[in-house]
Amino acid sequence: ETKHGGSKNGKKEGLSGSSFFTWFMVIALLGVWTSVAVVWFELVDYEEVLAKAKDFRYNLSEVLQGKLGIYDADGDGDFDVEDAKVLLGKYKHRWNNYIIQFVLCKDNFLHGMADGKFYVMFVEHHSYVRNLFPFCNKSAQPTSPESEETIQPAEKSYVESELEEEIQSVLHEALHSQPVSYEYDTDVEKTVSDPEAPGDSELMLEDAIEHYTEPKHEKQTETQDTASLLFFGHAPAPQRPSCSEEPKTKHSIRGNELCGFKSLPAKKKKKPKLLNKFDKTIKAELDAAEKLRKKGKVEEALRAFEALVSQYPQSPRARYGKAQSEDDLAEKMRSNEMLQKAINTYDEVVSLPNVPSDLIKLSLKREADRQQFLGRMRGSLVTLQKLVQLFPSDTSFKNDLGVGYLLIGDNSNAKKVYEEVLSLAPNDGFAKVHYGFILKAENKIAESIPYLKEGLESGDPGTNDGRFYFHLGDALQRMGDKEAYKWYELGYQRGHFASVWQRSLYNVKGLKAQPWWTARETGYTELVKSLEKNWKLIRDEGLAVMDKKRSLFLPEDENLREKGDWSQFTLWQQGRKNENACKSVPKTCALLERFPEATGCRRGQIKYSIMHPGTHVWPHTGPTNCRLRMHLGLVIPKEGCRIRCAQENRTWEEGKVLIFDDSFEHEVWQDAENYRLIFIVDVWHPELTAQQRRTLPAI
């Protein structure tokens, strides 16, 4: 202690007696019997300290254990060493490009110093902030994991019973008398669990579902130039702009309209009953095994639960603990085989006698989720159907079932499910946005709009998703309604789009973004020179394919045309060569083999595109910002053909390459007297690294 500037009694030089007492209380409650100086200089193995702290916590009386969670400062659902680090000023938090240096909560207002200025914010109006500072709004309902798909859920809370008022007051003083700062990774947001968490075996229904943390890859699909994006999968959210900035577009709306998220009334969660009559008699043994699992001793926990299952084969809670431990171990081992064991064990729980209904719900929901993770969509669908049959009045399970049908492409049954939900709960926002999406996919554009709009306006969990803003805006555009840009801008302000014009959903952050590019800017000058030098060869082979009796050109089938005739002949897709197609245009394919930035672009295509007179392609965006698109003019009428990307129109020239970023909104008109033929070559965005080009999932 003396070495690090502390006195023998543990006080750090310059601290008052009251400050020392506050620090001592925080550390003592965690069971960390070290000096403040050691903690300050991070000479402590925090994982070991956490284990000791939890040992200490579990040995406290029930009276002293409960409401520590309301002072959770780092969003993991309980009060632990990380919260002590927060109280000691170890974390800084970045929000809207401001560093929050000091936080004080009073009467549901967040007070902070950010970049030298003082701010006061009503927490109820800012769900993003509300989730970061749960202790500032004890009544706030935590964000559902369903509501934001790009979020990795935080570890769920696991604390017991209640805290005496005397201890609460001391901690309240400690929390509000010390400068607090936060460090926060803006790339991965965390949800916050309910501060009033139940005891060892009485987990919250939603919070007890702990999530496998290996990221899901975006689902692969065959794509042409498309706005009909994959419905499921997710993209990293673009950097959120500051709510104080006014949007710089002619379709701007007031900033406070955009940034004021709807406040939902807090709903107090009922504590689920996970123990049947028999399990209550072995609660101590169950808690001891669960304690091991919560401390991260997964192998020991699994052995403990296996012993309990062997000793008490009819215990649902022991079987569920075994499933959770297998689930945790699968994550640790990155083992699909172990995860399948967990799935089987979750299913076994439900088959036992006298299983509490809440435990059935938890087991089946987790089983369905893990099945989806392994890509076993139809197995997951069976599990979800079982949930709906067992709990027909619970519309949330019906909503999940609808998603299950969408995951296997069965829009018809999904539509029936959401019609049933809306008949039972006409204001269910989740059902509305999904029902609107299905109607739009059926090309019932006008009918889809009120469902998408009302669903988004509801603010219900699961509705604040970029895909719904995307499709609502697209539907409004097709109806000629300029309100589309209001919704695009709202989607941008809420972090779903990179900008009002750039609305792709499968993105890599930080890539240079502009609608139009030059060959020099891309760095692919050799490819451009080769295309322009050999444009007649490419044209002649394409015309030869067009002249064949059995046309190899296939109609565009992504519902992008308002009217007209538009077909394409694809040579490469998702980085895979179509060998049969290349037999028809061998010289063109041989020419392209030299350019891996094109042939290896697994988020694009290489293809001929023919468009006949009278064709109009709706405004749309491509699915990703990871590619640029080259158009080589082959047969171009003298006038009547044009393309708009963002706010600039251009025309094609025979033998010349146009380059644009198709993640920006673009639109095409063909009003000439003859057909237009171009050659499309997608290339990787030049700023992507070699590693990213190798590992990004195909689109």
Of 466, 498, 489, the C-alpha closest to 663 is: 498
pLDDT at position 247, please? Answer: 35
pLDDT at position 430, please? Answer: 97
* Residue 639 · residue 661 · CB < 8 Å: no
Calculated CA dihedral for residues 681, 685, 688, 694, nearest 10 degrees: -20
pLDDT at position 47, please? Answer: 54
CA distance 14 to 6: 10
pLDDT at position 217, please? Answer: 35
Directed axis angle between helix 466-478 and helix 429-441, to 10°?
50
* Residue 552 · residue 582 · CB < 8 Å: no
Q: What are the residue ranges of helices labelled H in 2-126? A: 17-30, 36-40, 46-59, 81-87
* Residue 674 · residue 536 · CB < 8 Å: no
pLDDT at position 547, please? Answer: 82
C-alpha distance from residue 381 to each of 346, 368, 370, 625 (Å): 15, 7, 12, 33
Mean pLDDT by 10 residues, the chain (699 residues): 41 54 66 50 52 48 41 48 49 41 45 47 42 41 34 32 35 34 29 32 35 35 33 34 34 34 52 93 96 96 97 97 97 95 97 96 96 94 97 96 95 97 97 97 96 97 95 96 95 95 95 98 98 98 87 88 95 97 97 97 97 97 97 97 97 98 97 97 98 94
pTM for the model stands at 0.63
CA distance 111 to 120: 5
Q: How many CB atoms lie within 10 A of CB 93?
A: 22
Positive or negative, the Cα torsion across 299, 305, 311, 313? Answer: negative
Q: Residues near 113 by Cβ (< 8 Å), separated by ≥ 6?
A: 100, 101, 102, 119
pLDDT at position 222, please? Answer: 33
Q: What are the residue ranges of helices labelled H in 145-262? A: 165-177, 255-259
Of 617, 601, 625, the C-alpha closest to 497 is: 625
**Tokens in use for 552?**
């190899």
pLDDT at position 73, please? Answer: 47
Domains and CATH numbers, the chain: 78-85+273-388 (1.25.40.10), 392-396+408-497 (1.25.40.10), 525-695 (2.60.120.330)
Q: What are the residue ranges of helices labelled H in 497-569? A: 519-522, 525-533, 535-547
pLDDT at position 550, please? Answer: 72
Tell me the residue length of the chain.
699
Q: Is 83 left (phi over 0), alpha (psi -120 to 50) or beta?
A: alpha
